Amino acid sequence: MKKVSLLAGMVSCCAMLSGCLTHWFVDSTTRLQVENGTSQTIVEIGIVSEDGSAYRIWIQDTIPAGEKSRVYEADWVGTFTMQIKTTESSYRFDNIELEGGSEYMVLTDSTDGLHYRFR
C-alpha cells in the first residue's frame, strides 16, 4: 500500500509540474515566424476581427526583403483574416487556418500582390 501511495504522489507531482495535461496534446497558442521573400519591406502583420471592426497587431517587426521576423506567440488558433502591411500597400488574406504550435510563413511576390505559404 505504501508503494502505491508513493507512486500516486510521484505521478500527481509530475502532472502538476508539467502544466495542464491538455497542453501535452493540443496547443492553444500559435508561434509565428515570417520570412519575407518579397521585394517589399513588411512593416506590420495583424489579425482582423470577423466583422472587420477590430484589428490587433501580431508582428510589428520591420522585415526587409529577404529577412525573417522574430518568433511571436499569441492566442490565435482557428480561422482568421490576416492583414499584412508593407511600405507600398496593405494585403488581406481570408481564411488563414492556424492550428496552434509553431508556424513558419513564407511571403512571396505574385502577379496580384503577395502570396503566402506555410512551411
Cα separation, 92 vs 62, whole angstroms: 18
Tell me the residue range of the domain where 45 lies: 26-118
Note whether residue 10 is domain-resident. no
Note whether residue 2 is domain-resident. no
Note whether residue 17 is domain-resident. no
- Predicted TM-score (pTM) of this structure: 0.74
Note whether residue 1 is domain-resident. no
Instruction: Taking residues 111-118, report their average pLDDT.
Output: 93
Note whether residue 34 is domain-resident. yes
Q: Which CATH number is 109's domain given?
A: 2.60.40.2890
Note whether residue 108 is domain-resident. yes
Note whether residue 16 is domain-resident. no
pLDDT tens digit sequence for 42-84: 999 999 988 888 999 999 899 999 999 999 999 988 899 999 9
Residue 113 has pLDDT above 60, yes or no: yes
Cα separation, 105 vs 45, whole angstroms: 11
Note whether residue 84 is domain-resident. yes
Element spanning 9, H or E: helix 2-17
Domain count, the chain: 1
